[in-house]
Structure formats: structure tokens, C-alpha cells
Amino acid sequence: MGKDQEAIKENIRSRFEKSVLPHMTHLVQNADEWFLFPVYVLPPDGKWSTDRVILLGDSAHAMPPKGESIGYALEDALIFSCVLSHFGLASPKAALLFYEKIRRKTINDAYKDASFGWDTNKDTGFLATKIMEWVTPLYLWWTKNSREASFATDPREIQFP
């Protein structure tokens, strides 16, 4: 194992050596390899389409990771297929513009939420890390409804012009 790999492993071990989460120390200590992958983020309010081409999912709105990207990508595909089905192929530009109109706010809200979480996820030291470990279950309980609501769009209820 190279020096970089060993340094990463030691850093992560030191962060979790006294974790309050059951079995976390054991899992971290026994991991053979650690890999850090780059995070790609697109700026908010980017261009999603041209006259005849649209980007969906992370290709259109890659945001800081929060574990929901695949959900937004699938929802994008489902909603766009409904929009395209309604408008047909006679006016692809109208379909693309309508899709962006109904989808932009949801994606912008998700982007803001993910960015806030990403920006506050810094190395804060031992005490702050312990507090976060204890508070996380409460936070997840408190935000459960809003997280579920973010995927509650029913394409059958889209109000078409």
C-alpha cells in the first residue's frame, strides 16, 4: 500500500476510533483500502436544453452528493417522458421549455439543500463531530417529511397548458 493510501487510512481511523455508532470502529479498522473520489458539481441555473436536446439528471444539474441524485435522475426521466408524450414530436422546443418551467424550482431547492449540507460538512474537530453523531438521528427524524416530499411529484398530476 502506498504512502497516500496509508495516510488516508490513518486519517479515517483516527476520526472514527471513538465513534458512538455501534461497530463503526471495527468497520473502519478492518477496511483494506480507502479511495477518495472527486466530486463534480455544476453551477445552479445552468442550461438544460437546446431546441432539440435535453440533459437530465446529473448531466443537467449535478449537485453536491446527498444520496439523492439517482432519485432526481429517475424522476427527471419520468416527468420528461410525460411532458414529451403530451406535447408530441411536433414541438420539441415547447416540450423542453415546459419541462424546465415545471422542474426548475424543485431542482434549485434540492441544489440549495445539498449545497448547505456540503458546505457545513467540514472537519470540525472531535467535540463537534461527537455532537453531530448524536444529533444526526434527530435531524433525520425532523426532516423526514421534507425529504419524502421532495420525491412526491406525480407526473399524472402535471397541469399542462
Domain that holds residue 22: 1-36
pLDDT of residue 155: 82
* d(C-alpha 86, C-alpha 95), whole Å: 8
Which residue, 27, 30, 38, 32, is CA-closest to 5? 32
Among 1-5, 33-37, 100-104, 111-115, the range with the most confident prediction by mean pLDDT is 100-104
The confidence band for 152, taking pLDDT boundaries of 50, 70 and 90, is confident
How far is the first Cα of the chain from the last one, in angstroms, to the nearest whole number? 60
In the predicted structure, residue 2 carries a pLDDT above the cut 90: no
Whether residues 48 and 63 share a domain: the answer is: yes
- State mean pLDDT over 92-106: 93
pLDDT of residue 131: 85
* d(C-alpha 141, C-alpha 66), whole Å: 16
Whether residues 29 and 61 share a domain: the answer is: no
- State mean pLDDT over 43-53: 89
Whether residues 107 and 131 share a domain: the answer is: yes
Count of the separate structural domains present in the chain: 2
In the predicted structure, residue 60 carries a pLDDT above the cut 80: yes
Whether residues 20 and 69 share a domain: the answer is: no
Those residues whose C-beta lies under 8 Å from the C-beta of residue 131, and which sit 6 or more positions away, are none
pTM for the full predicted model: 0.68
- State mean pLDDT over 105-111: 89
pLDDT of residue 103: 93
Whether residues 11 and 71 share a domain: the answer is: no
Whether residues 32 and 103 share a domain: the answer is: no
How many alpha carbons lie under 13 Å from residue 143 in its C-beta half-sphere? Answer: 10
Whether residues 75 and 104 share a domain: the answer is: yes
Tell me, what amino acid is at 134? W
pLDDT of residue 122: 66
Beta bridge partners of 54: 49
